[in-house]
Amino acid sequence: MQPPVFGRQDDGTWVTGRGVVCRLLSDDEEEERHQRFVIDLRNGQTVLIAHNVDVAERVPVALGDRLRFRGLYEWNPRGGVVHWTHRDPFGEEEGGALWLRRREYR
């Protein structure tokens, strides 16, 4: 699994990475609820994490927290979104996860 190339419009690619939480956003309440926050990947790039809290446990993130992630990357002009950071509720794929302070959230 390769990290996304943020300069190209790379959609639907499973990615892994790590970064520092630099912005906390309100939950997205449309259809399924998503916890949202932005992480700085330490290469000048930021990415939005959209973590489905209808499927997985909420992650107790705070500004400055270091976080690892695995999920599906979708490009957008602001840097992109990583979603599917949870187990596959249908059991068809491995799914994704978030790791904070040595604990896995999926």
Tokens of 57: 């446990």
Write out pLDDT tens, residues 18-57: 999 999 999 998 888 999 999 999 888 899 999 999 999 9
Q: How far apart are CA 36 and CA 59, in angstroms?
A: 10
Buried b (16+ CB within 10 A) or exposed e, 27-37: eeeeeeebbbb
- Does residue 10 register a pLDDT over 90? no
Stated pTM of the model: 0.88
Write out pLDDT tens, residues 58-89: 999 999 999 999 999 998 888 899 999 999 88
Domain boundaries, the chain: 23-68+78-89
